[in-house]
């Protein structure tokens, strides 16, 4: 059953999907980690692949940037393709000097000033939560691989460039307890809640709003292997 945004036929997508924002990161994961990957989507260059990892069928697909984009793709995966679990694997900007480039962050919840949930279903909660079961699988996988991670509240922002007269990273950290920022998980968690599915978000720190360190675009595409390996191992426990 294809949709306007996904040409996959019914049965071509696995029950567990890893979802990076960058479709080229999805391509890298498929070609690097999956056996016999088959591309199921090229619509709008939002690449999606299904293959096997250690004998288990897993899919990976890009989400694009921002809540409207992941909102479309995750909703369709859950509702049209019988996907049960989506693990977002993305990049994030640190709000605290305690986080450094390439550190892993597991979202315990996503706070947002966004009206995505309100517009989508009348949900006025400003915090959306991941699946406890999926977070537990990710923590277990990280421990077995000896990959340290920080579990904390994250900020899902609608805005990449803020003007100086509004709250910035210091206020988001102090007022809301957000240790880093990305732009998708609030919508993903909300869609999973509305549809009775499971979702989580594992992030790699790609830059710091405190120290102004940053990774390159190429590093964001293919150097976040710790995050990829943890998510793949967690997917084995959830498939």
Contacts (Cβ under 8 Å, ≥6 apart) of 184: 21, 63, 65, 66, 67, 69, 70, 88, 90, 156, 201
* pLDDT of the residue at 221: 74
Q: In Å, how far from its chain's centre is CA 180? A: 14
Q: Which one of 36, 82, 158, 207 is the catalytic residue?
A: 207
Low-confidence ranges of the chain (pLDDT < 70): 1
- Encode pLDDT of 83-119 as tens digits: 999 999 999 999 999 999 999 999 999 999 999 999 9
Return the closest-CA partner of residue 212 out of 92, 91, 93, 90: 93
What is the Cα–Cα distance from 29 to 52, expressed in whole angstroms? Answer: 12
DSSP state of 147: -
What is the Cα–Cα distance from 186 to 129, expressed in whole angstroms? Answer: 8
- 19: enclosing H helix or E strand: strand 16-19
* pLDDT of the residue at 41: 97
Region of residue 149 (left: phi > 0; alpha: psi -120 to 50; beta: else): beta
Q: How would DSSP label each residue in 154-166?
A: EEE-S-SS--TTS
* pLDDT of the residue at 1: 62
* pLDDT of the residue at 185: 98
What is the Cα–Cα distance from 220 to 18, expressed in whole angstroms? Answer: 16
Annotated active-site residue 207? The verdict is yes
Contacts (Cβ under 8 Å, ≥6 apart) of 34: 49, 50, 51, 52, 53, 58, 60
* pLDDT of the residue at 26: 97
Q: How many CB atoms neighbour CB 223 within 10 A?
A: 16
* pLDDT of the residue at 177: 98
Paired tokens of 152 = 């904390």
């Amino acid at each position: 059953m294809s949709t306007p945004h996904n040409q996959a036929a019914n049965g071509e997508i696995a029950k567990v999907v890893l979802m990076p924002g960058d479709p080229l990161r999805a391509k890298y994961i498929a070609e690097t980690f999956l056996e016999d990957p088959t591309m199921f989507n090229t619509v709008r260059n939002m690449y999606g692949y299904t293959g096997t990892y250690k004998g288990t069928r897993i899919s990976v697909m890009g989400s694009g940037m921002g809540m409207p984009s992941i909102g479309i793709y995750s909703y369709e995966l859950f509702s049209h393709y019988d996907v049960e679990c989506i693990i977002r694997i993305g990049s994030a900007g640190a709000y605290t000097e305690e986080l450094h480039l390439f550190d892993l962050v597991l979202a315990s919840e996503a706070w947002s000033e966004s009206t995505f949930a309100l517009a989508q279903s009348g949900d006025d909660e400003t915090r959306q939560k991941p699946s406890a079961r999926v977070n537990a699988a990710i923590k277990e996988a990280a421990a077995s691989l000896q990959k340290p991670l920080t579990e904390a509240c994250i900020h899902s922002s609608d805005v990449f460039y803020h003007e100086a007269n509004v709250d910035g990273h210091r206020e988001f950290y102090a007022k809301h307890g957000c240790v880093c920022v990305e732009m998708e998980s609030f919508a993903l968690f909300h869609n999973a809640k509305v549809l009775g599915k499971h979702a989580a978000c594992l992030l790699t720190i790609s830059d710091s709003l405190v120290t102004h360190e940053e990774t390159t675009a190429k590093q964001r595409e293919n150097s976040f292997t710790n995050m990829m390996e943890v998510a793949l191992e967690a997917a084995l426990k959830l498939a």
